[in-house]
Amino acid sequence: EPFRLRLLLPRPFQPEGDGLCLELLLGPNPQVAKGTHVLIPLGESSPTGWRAEEEGAEEEGAGPSGSSALNITLTAPPDAPIGRYRLSVKTRTGAGEYAAPFDAANDFFLLFNPWCPDDQVYMEKTSDLNEYVLNETGRIFYGTEDQIAERSWNYGQVPQKWGGPQKLGGTPKKPAPQTHVGVPPGFGVQVNSLDDSGVLVGNWTGDYAQGTNPSAWAGSVAIL
Pick from 18-32, 117-131, 169-183: least confident:
169-183
Q: What are phi and psi of 167, to 5 degrees?
A: -100, 5
CB atoms within 10 A of CB 186: 20
> What pLDDT, on the 0 to 100 scale, is given for residue 62?
59
Ordered domains of the chain (ranges, CATH): 3-110 (2.60.40.10), 126-223 (no CATH)
Pick from 43-52, 100-109, 178-187, 207-216: least confident:
178-187
* Higher local confidence (pLDDT), 55 or 58: 55
What is the chain's alpha carbon radius of gyration, rounded to the nearest angstrom? 22
How long, in residues, is the chain?
224
pLDDT tier for residue 224 given thresholds of 50, 70 and 90: confident
> What pLDDT, on the 0 to 100 scale, is given for residue 130?
93
* Contact of 173 with 196, CB cutoff 8 Å: yes
Query: Maximum CA pair distance of the chain?
Result: 76
pLDDT, mean over the chain: 85
In the chain, pLDDT over 90 holds for what percent of residues?
42
Asked if pLDDT for residue 177 goes beyond 50, the answer is yes
In the chain, pLDDT over 70 holds for what percent of residues?
87
Summarize the confidence of residues 164-173 as an average pLDDT: 48
> What pLDDT, on the 0 to 100 scale, is given for residue 166?
47
The residues, ordered by sequence, that sit 6+ positions from 99 with a Cβ below 8 Å of its Cβ are: 23, 88, 89, 90, 91
The residues, ordered by sequence, that sit 6+ positions from 95 with a Cβ below 8 Å of its Cβ are: none
> What pLDDT, on the 0 to 100 scale, is given for residue 58?
66
Concatenating the DSSP letter of every residue in the chain gives: --EEEEEEESS---TTT-EEEEEEEESSS--GGGTSEEEEEBTSB-TTS-EEEEEEEPPTT-SGGG-EEEEEEEE--TTPPPEEEEEEEEEEETTEEEEPPP-GGG-EEE---TTSTTSTT----HHHHHHHTS--EEEEEEE-SS-EEEEEEE--SS-SSS-TGGGTTB-SSSBPPSSTTTHHHHHHHHHBTTTTS-SB----SS--TTS--GGG--BHHHH-
Residues 125-139: pLDDT tens digits? 999 999 988 999 999
pLDDT tier for residue 172 given thresholds of 50, 70 and 90: very low
